[in-house]
Amino acid sequence: MRTYELMTIYRPELAESDVRAEQARVEAALTDGGAEITTSDFWGKRRFAYEIQHIHEGYYTLVVFQSEPGATELVDRALTLSDNVVRHKFIRPE
């Protein structure tokens, strides 16, 4: 099993409770795919270093998990299609 980090930025017009619910759905999808969540962190609303899609701030979340390679494909596709997500990135820390 490999360790992954998932950083997600949600739209600023969402309520904090909605962002936490979205994060819970992402974690549930990861565990359904066989991942083991190590840590889950909600960073809150932060200002961007540069403008993304005419947006200047967003809600940041970080999920660290362990899974087999390829287990992130369905979550990646769902986050790409979600209107509430500004950006997301999977990272394999060394």
Q: What is the pLDDT of residue 78?
A: 92
Q: What is the pLDDT of residue 33?
A: 87
Residue in 31, 86, 93 with CA at minimum distance from that of residue 61: 86
Per-residue pLDDT of the chain (94 residues; tens, 9 = 90+): 899 999 999 999 999 999 999 999 999 999 998 899 999 999 999 999 999 989 999 999 999 999 988 888 889 999 999 999 999 999 998 7
Q: What is the pLDDT of residue 5?
A: 95
94 alpha-carbon distance from chain centroid: 19
Q: Are strands 55-67 and 36-52 parallel, antiparallel or unpaired?
A: antiparallel
pTM > 0.85: yes or no:
yes
